[in-house]
Chain A
Amino acid sequence: EAGVAQSPRYKIIEKRQSVAFWCNPISGHATLYWYQQILGQGPKLLIQFQNNGVVDDSQLPKDRFSAERLKGVDSTLKIQPAKLEDSAVYLCASSSRGLADNTDTQYFGPGTRLTVL
């Protein structure tokens, strides 16, 4: 079974530029998450999708961040314009989230390391 795929793995941009990240979850996983992980901290949830609908985006800075999950499979996360404090690793995760899945195990991709100069 293929894991969660993300691209690019690394991105360097200047502040005020825009950037987009792509995620392909594990096949059949209905729930997709985007996390931001700043160096030395734990992942912080930005947005959660169930199929192609947004379940939770309460921690997404909506003035500059946007995300979509067309057709309920792949997802993109965009930052426009980027700020210095956006430098972080952006992790995508997916889970099967069936009603019987009490553990809610999330499977993470390798992440995109973003550096904003």
Chain B
Amino acid sequence: GQSLEQPSEVTAVEGAIVQINCTYQTSGFYGLSWYQQHDGGAPTFLSYNALDGLEETGRFSSFLSRSDSYGYLLLQELQMKDSASYFCAVRAVGAGSYQLTFGKGTKLSVIP
């Protein structure tokens, strides 16, 4: 099976940088995804790391270390609209197909 750990809540100031960590235990690991979900909204895809290193997409960056079973999402120049829950999700082979297993999510609150 798969298990993921990420902090339940993080608070940061507008304009600052915040890092949300994710550690995982899994078999058949293929990659780590990040999704954003606003209250009452649908999860939306942010990034995906299959290889070690940093992937940058605008203000968001995601990092993966396969040897450490660890990744993080970095949000720069925080804006109020970034207040949301952020989920790391492991893509792994299971039951004959690729599966996406989500963590419990980190609720990010951006304050003025």
Segment at the B interface, from A13-21, A73-81, A99-107: A99-107
Of all chain B residues, the one with the shortest Cβ separation from A97 is B98
Is the Cβ of B99 less than 8 Å from the Cβ of A43? no
Is the Cβ of B97 less than 8 Å from the Cβ of A103? no
A108 touches B (CB below 8 Å): yes
Is the Cβ of A42 less than 8 Å from the Cβ of B104? yes
Is the Cβ of B87 less than 8 Å from the Cβ of A42? yes
B58 touches A (CB below 8 Å): no
When each residue 92-117 of chain A gets 1 if its CB lies under 8 Å from chain B and 0 otherwise, what string results? 01000000001111111111000000
How distant is the Cα of A41 from the Cα of B87 in the complex, in angstroms? Answer: 9
* Set of chain B residues within 8 Å of A55, measured between Cβ atoms: 95-97
Of all chain B residues, the one with the shortest Cβ separation from A48 is B97
Segment at the A interface, from B13-21, B39-47, B65-73, B75-83: B39-47
Of all chain B residues, the one with the shortest Cβ separation from A43 is B102
Is the Cβ of A42 less than 8 Å from the Cβ of B42? no
Is the Cβ of A108 less than 8 Å from the Cβ of B44? yes
When each residue 41-53 of chain A gets 1 if its CB lies under 8 Å from chain B and 0 otherwise, what string results? 1111100101000
Is the Cβ of A109 less than 8 Å from the Cβ of B42? yes
Q: Which of A50, A104, A109 contacts B100 (CB 8 A)?
A: A104
Q: Known interface pairs A56-B96, A104-B98. Does A42 touch B41 (Cβ–Cβ under 8 Å)?
A: no
When each residue 78-109 of chain B gets 1 if its CB lies under 8 Å from chain A and 0 otherwise, what string results? 00000000010101001111111111110000
> Which B residues have a C-beta under 8 Å from some C-beta of A?
31, 33, 41-45, 48, 50, 87, 89, 91, 94-105
Q: Provide a sorted-by-A list of 13 A–B residue pairs whose CB atoms are within 8 angstroms.
A: A42-B105, A43-B43, A50-B97, A55-B96, A56-B94, A56-B96, A103-B31, A104-B48, A104-B100, A105-B48, A106-B43, A110-B41, A111-B42
